[in-house]
Amino acid sequence: MKKIDVVAAVIINDNQVLCVQRAFSKYEYISNKYEFPGGKVEANESEKDALKREVQEELSLNIKVGAKFITVNHDYPDFSISLHTYLCECKNRDIILHEHIDFKWLDIKNLKKLDWAQADYPIIDKLLDCERQLN
């Protein structure tokens, strides 16, 4: 099975998290699902540099990449991913969708209301746990 290293950004602005919806895909199990923005790490590229590049390419958004949050290893039917997730910030919400079909800014407590790609659920669970610990 093909294994892919990918990065994802948990982008926080005004105490809300950016959620983006994938377009149609040949793989039904990720088609039209929500995800945290990001993408593949290219050869000789750091995870943080890949994240900045992918978010800029996909959303025309400049982000500040912070600490690594969680790495999720997930097996889909046709491929396996290692999803390296970072906490990120942005100064504004001016987004241009180049690859996704929708986006939402949500409070952490409302994230599970969306239909997410399976690999993203452990990220949401950890965000919910962190929020519970703070309250």
In sequence order, what are the residues at sequence separation of 6 or more whose Cβ sits closer than 8 angstroms to the Cβ of residue 80? 1, 2, 3, 4, 73, 74
pTM listed for this prediction: 0.94
Residue 16 belongs to what domain range?
Answer: 2-134
DSSP of 43-99: TT--HHHHHHHHHHHHH----EEEEEEEEEEEE-SSEEEEEEEEEEE-S------SS
The total domain count for the chain is: 1
Place of tokens 């239909």: 115
Identify the burial level of 71 via C-beta atoms within 10 angstroms of its C-beta, where 0-12 means exposed, 13-18 middle and 19 or more buried.
middle
pLDDT at 53: 97
**Rounded average pLDDT over 109-134:** 94
- How far is 39 from 30, CA to CA, in rounded Å? 14
pLDDT at 72: 98
The model's confidence at residue 59, banded by pLDDT at 50, 70 and 90, is very high
Map residue 122 onto helix, strand or coil: helix
**Rounded average pLDDT over 54-68:** 97
Q: What is the CATH number of the domain that holds 24?
A: 3.90.79.10
By percentage, how much of the chain surpasses pLDDT 90? 90
Residue 66 has pLDDT above 90, yes or no: yes
DSSP category for residue 116: B
